[in-house]
Amino acid sequence: MAEVFPFRERTGKVRQVSYVTGDVTPDGRELLLNVQTERDGRIELAFPTVDLQHLLTLLLILGGKAAVNGQFAAFSETYQAQPLPLHGVSLGMETDEKGVLTVEVGAAVLSFSLPRESMTEIGRTILAMTDARPAG
């Protein structure tokens, strides 16, 4: 397990997080997290807003690994997700077979690879929901 958690060798333990709250500095340059742990109490963290995208990407990749390993899978029917304020979204092509969905939420921009068929379905759904008709 040393290759998965190399920091455990330095600290001797991994702290179990039970609750997280946060805020933003008045100038918007830092994100502040108040991490509550089961045994060790509160840990206060601050990191630059420009690092948010990297942190989100890391968490999503690790969540994907957890799902692949069978430890966790989120299902929209059972999980209540909080809607995020979307600032931008775009669809594009990476290759002839792969599309890219790019989502901008505040200071983070995330891109998701998806099969071309999924892009077709997303486009049809958007047209149906907006009652728009394709040109031609």
Q: What is the pLDDT of residues 78-92, one digit of tens each?
A: 567 788 888 998 888
Task: Using the structure block, give the residue that is written with the tokens 């008709």.
Answer: 133
User: E strands, the chain, where?
Assistant: 17-24, 30-37, 41-48, 88-93, 98-105, 108-115
3-state secondary structure of 117: helix
3-state secondary structure of 1: coil
Quick: pLDDT tens for 41-93: 899 999 999 999 899 889 888 888 877 777 666 665 556 778 888 899 888 88
3-state secondary structure of 11: helix
Ordered by start, the domain boundaries in the chain are 15-81, 84-130
Nearest-angstrom CA–CA distance, 113 and 101: 7
Taking alpha carbons only, the member of 84, 115, 89 closest to residue 102 is 89
Share of the chain above pLDDT 70, in %: 81
